[in-house]
Amino acid sequence: MELTKNKFSDSTGEGLSLFDGVDTHYLSLAALTHMMEGAAVAVGYTQEEVVQHLAAIVSRMKPAATPGQFLRIAEVVVDALDNASNNYLEHSYEYFHAPSGETRKVSFRLTTYEPDLEDEYRYRPTAEGYLVLMGMLDLKVEDHQILVERMLQLLIERGRFDQAYEFARRARMLSIEHRQQIRDFIHQAWRAPGSVAWARDIAPRLNEARMHIHARQEEDRRMEESVREQLIQVTDNQTREQLVRLHDVLKSASGVRAHLQVDVTGAGDKFMDAQAGAFRSRRPSSFPDLETRLLPEALATAQTALAGSVDALLLSFYPAVVPKAPDLSNVLALLLARREYDEPSEDESEGGELMPFKKYPDPFPEDMAQFVQGWVSAKFAIGSSWKLDELLAHAEDEGLTLLERQCIVYVLYRSYPDSENLFKSMRACADGEFVADVAAGDNLRFDPVETR
C-alpha cells in the first residue's frame, strides 16, 4: 500500500497524489484497531462505520482535503486490507526458507467480512490481522488475550455502553433460541418417537449451544468485572443507570445460559426416554383396529353402500349435547375477574408476563342506573311493544342527558338474555338495526310476555 499509493490521483486535475501527507501505515493499524474494538464487545463494525472512522483520522492528517477525498482515502485503505485489487483473494508473500533451501509462499487474510446474527455484514480482524497489528505495535504474541481483555475494559471505560448492551442482549436472545430449538426437538421426539434423529437434528444444535456457552461465559465474566469496577468509580447518575442496565442484562443472560447448560446436559437422557416410548405397551381397547379391519373392509365395500352411510357418519361427528353460547354477563364476569399479580421474576425466559389488573371505574353511577331502570319500567308498564331506538327517541325528547341515554342502551342490551332480564314482564328479540348519536347496532324489540 505504501509503495503503490502514489498512483491514486486527487481528481483535481493538478496531478497531485491523493495520498500526499497521508501515513498509510498508521491508517492500516487504525483500521485493524477499530475492527478489533468492534470485535471485543460485538461481532465487528460495518463497512460504513470503519470508513467513517478512518475518514475522521484522515481529516486530521490532511486538513486541506475535501470530505469526498477523506472518504476515498479511507475506502482505498480498507480495500487494501481486503486485497480488493486482486479480486479479494488471500494476500500472498514469498520468502526464502533456509532449512529447506527453497522459496516458499505464505497466504493469509487480514480481515473477515461476515454476517452477524441479524445478517448484517461486519468487519473483524483475522488471527493473522491480530499478529500484524501486534507486530507493528512491537507486542508479544502471548499478549494477545491480554490485549483483547484490555480492549474490552477500555471500551466500557470510554462509555460505549450502548454497543455493549446491544451485544449482550443479542447474545442472550441467541441463548434463548438455542434452548428453544433443543426443547422443540425433544418435545417432537416425545410426541412422535422415531421422527427425530439424534445425529441429524439434535447433535448439531447441541454442539452449537456448547460453543455458544463456552464463548459467552468468558466474555460476560470480563464484562461484568469491568462494569462492577466502573460502578464503583463513576458518580454521574445517567452513566450509573446505563451501567446498571448493562449489568442487569448480563446477569439475565448468565441465568438463561445456565438453563441452556442444563438443557444441553440432560438432552441425551430425555431423548432416550422419548425413544423408549415407541416400545411402551399400550392398553388394550375395545375399538376395532383401523389398519387390519376397518380400512380393508371399507376398501372392499361398494361406493353405493358407502354413500348410503354418509348421513349417519356425519351425525356421529356432532356432540351428544350441543354447547350453548355463554350469556353476555358471564363473558363480562370472566373478563373482569381479578387475578393475583405476580412479581416479575429475574429469569425473563420463563413463561410470560402477567400484567397488573387495572380496575376501571363504573361509567354509570348507581343512582343513575336506578333512575334509568325506573324510567324504562314506566315505559314498559304501558303494555305495548317497544323498540330500542324508540325508547332513545323518547328519552331525547324528555331531555335525558347523553350519559343517561347511554345507560339506557346498556340496560336494554343487558336484558336481552332471559337469565339477566331486568324487566320480567318483557321479552327481547332482535329486530333490524339502529343508528343513534349514543350507539349503533342490532335493534331490540321488547314485547309483553303474555302476547308472545
SS in 3 state form for the chain? CCCCHHHCECCCCCCCECCCCCCHHHHHHHHHHHHHHHHHHCCCECHHHHHHHHHHHHHHHCCCCCHHHHHHHHHHHHHHHHCHHHCCCCEEEEEEECCCCEEEEEEECCEEEEECCCCCEEEEECHHHHHHHHHHCCCCHHHHHHHHHHHHHHHHHCCCHHHHHHHHHHHHHHHHHHHHHHHHHHHHHHHCCCCCCHHHHHHHHHHHHHHHHHHHHHHHHHHHHHHHHHHHHCCCHHHHHHHHHHHHHHHHHHHHHHHHHHHHHHHHHHHHHHHHHHHCCCCCCCCCCHHHHHHHHHHHCCHHHHHHCHHHHHHHCCCCCCCCCCCHHHHHHHHCCCCCCCCCCCCCCCCCCCCCCCCCCCCCCHHHHHHHHHHHHHHHCCCCCEEHHHHHHHHHHCCCCHHHHHHHHHHHHHCCCHHHCCCCCEEEEEEEEEECCCCEEEEEEEEEHHHC
Residue 145, C-alpha cell as written in the block: 488475550
> What CA dihedral angle connects 115, 119, 120 and 125, to 10 degrees?
-10
State the Cα–Cα distance between residues 402 and 439, nearest whole angstrom: 11
- Block residue for cell numbers 426416554: 273
Residues 6+ apart with CB under 8 A from 427: 418, 421, 446, 447, 448, 449, 452
Over range 130-147, report the average pLDDT: 64
Residue 452 predicted with pLDDT over 50? no
pLDDT above 70 (res 43): no
Burial string for 367-403 (b: 16+ CB within 10 Å, else e) reads: ebbeebbebbeebbeeeebbbbbebbeebeeeebeee
Whether the pLDDT of residue 100 is over 70: the answer is yes
**Separation CA 135–CA 314 (nearest Å):** 82
In this model, does residue 290 exceed pLDDT 50? yes
- Among 46-50, 98-102, 113-117, 279-283, the minimum mean pLDDT is found in 279-283
**Cα–Cα distance, 435 to 440 (Å, whole number):** 4
- The amino acid occupying position 339 is R
How far CA 434 is from CA of 213, 377, 388, 392, 415, in Å, comes to 64, 21, 8, 10, 17
User: What confidence score (pLDDT) does residue 271 get?
Assistant: 81
Identity of the highest mean pLDDT range in 293-307, 329-343, 385-399: 385-399
pLDDT of residue 343: 58
Residue 135 contacts residue 147 (beta carbons within 8 Å): no
Averaged pLDDT for residues 275-282? 64
Mean pLDDT, rounded, for 109-115 = 85
| pLDDT at residue 371 in the model | 92
